[in-house]
């Protein structure tokens, strides 16, 4: 049965449509959209002074504090100062009556005078002994001259005897003349022996006189030693009398008074113990601020390090200073290093006992390149790296060497340059060549 013209036209149109659909390119039908770049936040490496600090509790202490005690016992006669008074070194804080020491001092003066008189008497005895010695020596000289004279007479008698003996043998003179010459010779010999005895006696007198001089010198030395002892005892009493005045050891402020006029005070002794001080004097024109640095940072503290001290008192601003000294060793019980900062205190606003915090600059490194800690990545092997970005926001993985970590920023020791942008914290892991979209801050 032949098709109707209407059906034939519809079939023709359908066939043309099918043929037309089969001729469309497959690539155009399956075209896919490219993925959007991942959005990231970027941070730039900054070059700035890197500063490591430690902040620890700190307390203000007086530069010096002296507890004043009595060295002598007695009743307090006068107290010219009170708490809060400013005193100079040597100012009298209290006067103690010590009448017994004054009496002992009078006795000591008398002993010194007696000893000095004994010295003078011994010196007079020495002068007398020296005069006797001179006389004895003169006697020796006289005796020796008599020996010379006796020797001369003896020689003359010997010559006369020899001549007379020769004449007698020649029968020129009588025997009687020889006997007389012999008697004169014997007399001369006796005179010589007598003169020698006189010399010996005079020498003995010299020895006795020398011994007397030595004894007199010993008496002088003994008397002088007694005088020195008496003077030392008197000096000790004078010192004890000076202790009757309690004096300020340095310029400062009286921060404690423990006695009043009429009080009986006892001398401090090892047996009795110290007890409560009569006065406390505190030097406040400069103060010490002490803080304790933990063991982990103790080795980084040096004398001269800058310190900022913030006290709890709201009306006092932060005070700047430098580390003056350290203890040089750790406290075995706390494992901390004691650090002291000396501060001037001309107006007396810094009071001992004030509490606050001391921030010590342990080191400063100028022009150090750093990044936020969140921008640093770590491999499982421990190496650190960053995702560096170029001007086209293309990623490149760059290994870095880290330096000081402040907790929020980390120093990049190498090789990152200041101004280099890197990807901040992100969960995605990027690869070299990835392109990202940097979000505006």
Distance from the Cα of residue 165 to its chain's centroid? 103
Q: What is the DSSP string of 61-109?
A: EEEEEEEE--SS-EEEEE----TT-EE-TT-EEEEEE-HHHHHHHHHHH
What is the C-alpha to C-alpha distance for residues 29 and 161, in angstroms, rounded to an integer?
184
CATH entry, 100-234, from 3.40.50.10320, 1.10.287.620, 1.10.3720.10, 2.60.120.10: 1.10.287.620
User: What is the model's pLDDT at position 161?
Assistant: 64
User: What is the model's pLDDT at position 9?
Assistant: 42
Structure tokens that stand for 132 in this block? 């006797």
Residue partners of 54: CB distance under 8 A and separation at least 6: 293, 294, 297, 300, 359, 360, 362
Q: How far is CA 403 from CA 45, 373, 382, 400, in A?
A: 14, 12, 14, 10
What is the C-alpha to C-alpha distance for residues 176 and 193, in angstroms, rounded to an integer?
26
Q: Which CATH code fits 284-364?
A: 2.40.30.170
Which residue, chain included where needed, has tokens 């601003």? 317
Neighbours of 393 (CB within 10 A): 16
User: What is the model's pLDDT at position 154?
Assistant: 63
What is the C-alpha to C-alpha distance for residues 128 and 249, in angstroms, rounded to an integer?
54
CATH entry, 70-98+244-277, from 3.40.50.720, 2.60.40.1580, 2.60.40.1080, 2.40.50.100: 2.40.50.100
**What is the phi-psi region of residue 84: left when phi exceeds 0, alpha when psi lies from -120 to 50, beta otherwise?**
left
**Phi, then psi, of 395 in degrees rounded to 5:** -85, 140
Architecture of domain 40-48+367-438: Beta Barrel (2.40)
The per-residue pLDDT for range 335-359, each reduced to its tens digit, is: 999 999 999 999 989 999 999 999 9
User: What is the model's pLDDT at position 218?
Assistant: 86
Any idea where the domains of the chain sit in the sequence? 40-48+367-438, 70-98+244-277, 100-234, 284-364
Collect the ranges in the chain with pLDDT lower than 50: 1-24, 26-31, 271
User: What is the model's pLDDT at position 5?
Assistant: 40
């Amino acid at each position: 049965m032949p098709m109707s013209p209407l059906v034939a036209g519809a079939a023709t149109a359908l066939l043309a449509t099918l043929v037309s659909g089969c001729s469309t390119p497959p690539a155009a039908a399956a075209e896919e959209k490219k993925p959007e770049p991942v959005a990231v936040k970027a941070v730039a490496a900054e070059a700035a002074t890197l500063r490591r600090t430690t902040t620890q509790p700190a307390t203000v202490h007086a530069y010096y504090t002296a507890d004043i005690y009595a060295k002598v016992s007695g009743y307090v006669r006068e107290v010219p100062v009170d708490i809060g008074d400013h005193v100079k070194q040597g100012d009298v804080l209290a006067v103690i009556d010590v009448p017994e020491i004054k009496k002992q001092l009078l006795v000591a003066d008398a002993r010194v005078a007696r000893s000095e008189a004994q010295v003078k008497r011994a010196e007079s005895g020495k002068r007398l002994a020296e005069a006797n010695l001179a006389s004895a020596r003169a006697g020796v000289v006289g005796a020796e001259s008599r020996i010379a004279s006796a020797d001369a007479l003896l020689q003359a008698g010997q010559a006369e005897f020899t001549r007379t003996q020769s004449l007698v043998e020649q029968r020129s003179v009588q025997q009687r003349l020889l006997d007389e010459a012999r008697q004169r010779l014997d007399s001369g010999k006796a005179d010589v022996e007598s003169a020698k005895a006189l010399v010996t006696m005079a020498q003995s007198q010299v020895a006795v006189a020398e011994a007397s001089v030595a004894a007199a010198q010993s008496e002088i030395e003994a008397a002088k030693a007694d005088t020195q002892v008496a003077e030392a005892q008197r000096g000790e009493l004078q010192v004890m009398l000076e202790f009757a005045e309690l004096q300020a050891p340095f310029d400062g402020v009286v921060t404690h008074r423990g006695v009043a006029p009429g009080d009986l005070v006892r001398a401090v002794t090892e047996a009795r113990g110290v007890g409560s001080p009569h006065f406390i004097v505190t030097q406040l024109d400069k103060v010490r601020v002490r803080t304790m640095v933990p063991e982990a940072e103790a080795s980084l503290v040096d004398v001269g390090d800058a310190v900022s001290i913030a006290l709890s008192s709201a009306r006092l601003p932060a005070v700047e200073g430098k580390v003056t000294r350290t203890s040089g060793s750790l406290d075995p019980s706390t494992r901390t290093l004691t650090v002291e900062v000396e501060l001037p205190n001309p107006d007396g606003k810094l009071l001992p006992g004030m509490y606050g915090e001391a921030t010590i600059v342990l080191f400063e490194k100028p022009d150090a390149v750093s990044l936020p800690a969140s921008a640093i990545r770590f491999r499982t092997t421990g190496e650190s790296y960053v995702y560096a970005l170029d001007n086209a926001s293309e990623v490149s993985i760059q290994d870095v060497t880290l330096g000081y970590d402040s907790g929020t920023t980390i120093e990049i020791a190498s090789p990152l340059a200041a101004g280099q942008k890197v990807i901040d914290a992100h969960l995605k892991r990027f690869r070299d060549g990835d392109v990202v979209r940097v979000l505006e801050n």
